[in-house]
Each structure stands twice: as structure tokens, then as C-alpha cells.
Amino acid sequence: MPSTISKTLLLTFSTLTTLTSALPHLTPRGAAIQFGFPLTGGSSELPLTPLDLSQVFLVTIGRGVQNYTCPPGSTAPVQKGASTGAIAQLFDVTAKMAQSQDFVDLVTNIAQRNPRPSLEDVSVADAGLLNGEFEKACFHFFDAEGTPVFDCGDKGIILASKLDSVPAPTEGTAGVEGAAAVPWLELAAKEGSRGITKIIRIVTTGGSAPASCEGVGADEVVQVDYSAQYWMMNNGTMGSM
């Protein structure tokens, strides 16, 4: 990852103990470790707290596509309509995060080398392994009303609404075809969710729309590859799965 993405919120041993109880595969590595929410290094950051960190129970890498179209008269592509704005497979890296957050960041950067997901591949059991190692945990899509959905099977499901957004770092975060990184997001659960109360999208690469509609047909869908980390939290109000 670029040097601008520094790790903060260093955990004391007591905080780490709380986190490991939420993440059974995490093993304490010392009194203070560099396991925390990354920062963009920009002028604004997502307003995340140590309490948020203690509620993380699932860390994933998402490999997906953002879909854009050029409606008649538009000069720049816009996100495609409800249900097809973006799709992604999310792979469980919770255990690996305990060993090396830097390694997980690296895998996130190269995740776009893995096959694109498809709308037909909605079953958690259908997808292959990310980088031959990490199993699929969730499927991300938009429902018919345009709500982002993250279906994590027996781990929970979240119908999300945006709480906050900050620009991603620009250094070293371009996608496989040079697209700029999509913003980092903080999302909260809406009615119909279970087991997940908040999710953040961070450490993004690629995914941003092309700068213009030049050469794009009116009915053409522009698919832009992206990858990101998605961290799932449960504050206890929705139960644990």
C-alpha cells in the first residue's frame, strides 16, 4: 500500500482482548500491535473510533466491478441504475489480518487479477478462492430499489445506507486499467438487516468512472474493475450469527 495509508488506533492489550473475542481467529501478537483502521492521509477521514474497532467481527476483500452508462445528452458516465450499479464477491481475510495487515493490504491491491464476479454467481458456495487461498464470505449487489446489499449467509446480511464518504488516496491506488480509486465509505444498516450493524469500505483500488462519454454508446455498459476491503461490525443490537 502507499505510504500515505498509515495504521492508527494501535490497540492496547486490553482492547485487543476485546477484539479477539469478536474475532475468534485473531491471536494477540503483543501488548501493542499495528492492527487498526487505515487512514487515507488526506484532509478528511472516516469518523471511526476504537469502539467501532472492537465491534469488527468479519474482515473481507471485495473483488468486483462498478457499472456505468452514458444516458443521452450526458458528457460523463453515471452509475448504472438500481440492481446493477455494482457487484462484488467478498472473501474472508479475518484470520490473515491477525497475522499481517500489510499482507492483506497487498492482496487487496492485486485482487483484480482474479476473475470478475457475475450476477448469476450469488451463492456463497459458488465462487472459487481469492488468490487460491481465501474463501468467499459475502456477495455484494444492489437491490431493485438501488439499496446496496451485502449478503454474508449465516454471518448476516446488511441493507446499507451511506453515513460518510472520503476520497481515497491517489498514490498507487489505480485499477488494472488505470481507473482512479472509488471513495472510502461508512455504511449503516437499514431495516431488513440482521447480524451486521455497520460496514466500511476502505483500501480501495480502481472502480471510478471514465472522465468522459467519448466513444461510449448510449446503451453500452462500462464495467470498471475495483477491489476494496469491507469490514463488518455488530454492536449487539441485531444479535450475532
Q: Identify whether 238 is part of a domain.
A: no
The answer to whether residue 141 sits within a structural domain is yes
Q: Is the residue at 1 inside a domain?
A: no
Q: Provide the domain count of the chain.
A: 1
Residue 189 lies in a domain: yes
Q: Look up residue 136 and give its three cell numbers.
A: 468467499
Range of the domain at 89: 13-233
The span from the CA of 42 to the CA of 33, in Å, is 23
Global confidence as pTM: 0.82
> Does residue 97 lie in a domain region?
yes
Which among 173, 171, 176, 156 is positioned nearest to 56, based on CA atoms? Answer: 156
Asked if the structure places residue 5 within a domain, the reply is no
User: Could you write out the three-class secondary structure of 162-178?
Assistant: EEEEECCCCCCCCCCCC
pLDDT in tens, 208-234: 999 999 888 877 889 999 999 999 999
Condensed to tens digits (0 to 9), the pLDDT of residues 154-191 reads 999 999 999 999 999 988 899 988 999 999 999 999 99
CA 20 vs CA 59, 215, 239: distances in Å: 13, 51, 18
From CA 28, how far away is CA 15, in angstroms rounded? 10
**Residue 64 near residue 72, CB atoms below 8 Å:** no
Measured CA to CA, the distance from residue 196 to residue 56 in angstroms comes to: 10
